[in-house]
């Protein structure tokens, strides 16, 4: 991927599109492919049938909230105290 192509894709990804292609999602989250896929798997974020990621889901992933697994672990700790 050329640097100029990456710059154009970053500009498009940062606009107000509700759905992002996988390449745009990687740029939007500032992660490389492997890291992006790993984080999406942790947060249970999947592509829709058209092959796009929902921007709101990616925002949730980048917000710093705990993963769904961590939230479940915290709830279990509270129940068994």
Domain range list for the chain: 3-79
pLDDT tens figures, 7-45: 787 777 777 789 999 988 998 888 999 999 999 999 999
Helix axes 22-29, 55-62, angle to 10 degrees: 30
Strand, helix or coil at 20? strand
Q: What per-residue confidence (pLDDT) applies to 64?
A: 83
Q: Is the pLDDT confidence value at 72 over 70?
A: no
CATH class entry, domain 3-79: mainly alpha
């Amino acid at each position: 991927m050329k640097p100029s192509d990456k710059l154009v894709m970053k500009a498009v990804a940062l606009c107000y599109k509700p759905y992002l292609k996988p390449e745009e999602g990687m740029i939007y989250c500032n992660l490389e492919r492997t890291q992006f896929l790993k984080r999406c798997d942790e947060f249970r974020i999947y592509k829709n049938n058209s092959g796009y990621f929902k921007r709101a889901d990616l925002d949730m992933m980048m917000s710093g909230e705990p993963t769904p697994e961590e939230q479940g672990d915290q709830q279990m700790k509270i129940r068994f105290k």
